[in-house]
């Protein structure tokens, strides 16, 4: 059985008399026009596919440039740098401490940019009860505290122990608690 393309190639031949009675065989004009229409449709589809391919290549180049700007070569690095910590990306946090020269000032800058003062006063690093008779305060977001530790160690050296960073965080909390206690005493002296 002949396929569709065979029927187009072997279009019916019509005999014509050309110059002095010589017969020439020419294909049927309708079948030629049908074949031409099919080819035009295929060309249009190919052109459309080429445009789509160009657009995809542009998007890939754009994403590769974004990835380079974010400083990562793998998709994990891109996802990690895009993750937000209370509305700030890791890159934002790195920029916050870029010009800080001491561990204390960098720690304070990170804490005050990531957490509200109220949050810092009402939460603790461990979530455990201290030596007082008061109830334990809720634990700070551990994911963010770990990131702060990591950023501070990157900037000031891996040799900085966690206990020193914990002490710096607690110092910021103590100053804020004292500040609010004084304000509270001025507002309500008795």
- What does the pLDDT read at residue 8? 47
Which DSSP string corresponds to 84-99? EETTEEHHHHHHHTTT
The rounded distance, in Å, linking the Cα atoms of 154 and 160 is 10
Q: 114 near 86, Cβ under 8 Å?
A: yes
pTM, to two decimals: 0.54
Q: Which residue matches tokens 């998007």?
A: 59
Give the CA distances from residue 2 to residues 32, 38, 118, 137, in Å, rounded to whole numbers and listed in that order: 18, 18, 83, 84
Rg (CA), the chain: 37
Check whether 53 has a pLDDT greater than 90: no
Q: Which residue matches tokens 């870029």?
A: 98
CA 103 to chain centre: 30
**What rounded mean pLDDT belongs to the chain?**
78
Q: Which residue matches tokens 């990690």?
A: 80
Check whether 179 has a pLDDT greater than 50: yes
Helix, strand, or coil (residue 28): coil
């Amino acid at each position: 059985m002949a396929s569709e393309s065979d029927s187009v190639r072997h279009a019916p031949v019509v005999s014509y008399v050309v110059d002095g009675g010589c017969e020439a065989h020419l294909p049927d004009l309708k079948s030629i026009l049908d074949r031409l229409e099919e080819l035009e449709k295929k060309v249009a589809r190919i052109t459309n596919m080429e445009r789509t391919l160009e657009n995809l290549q542009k998007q890939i180049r754009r994403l590769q440039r974004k990835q380079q700007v974010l400083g990562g070569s793998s998709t994990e690095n891109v996802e990690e740098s895009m993750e937000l910590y209370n509305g700030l990306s890791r890159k934002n946090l790195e920029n916050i401490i870029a010009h800080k020269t001491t561990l204390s000032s960098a720690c304070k800058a990170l804490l005050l940019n990531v957490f509200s003062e109220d949050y810092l006063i009402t939460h603790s690093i461990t979530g455990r009860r201290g030596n007082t008779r008061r109830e334990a305060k809720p634990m700070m977001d551990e994911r963010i505290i770990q990131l702060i530790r990591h950023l501070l160690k990157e900037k000031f050296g891996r040799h900085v122990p966690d206990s020193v960073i914990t002490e710096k965080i607690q110092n910021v909390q103590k100053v804020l608690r004292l500040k609010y206690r004084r304000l509270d005493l001025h507002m309500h002296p008795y």
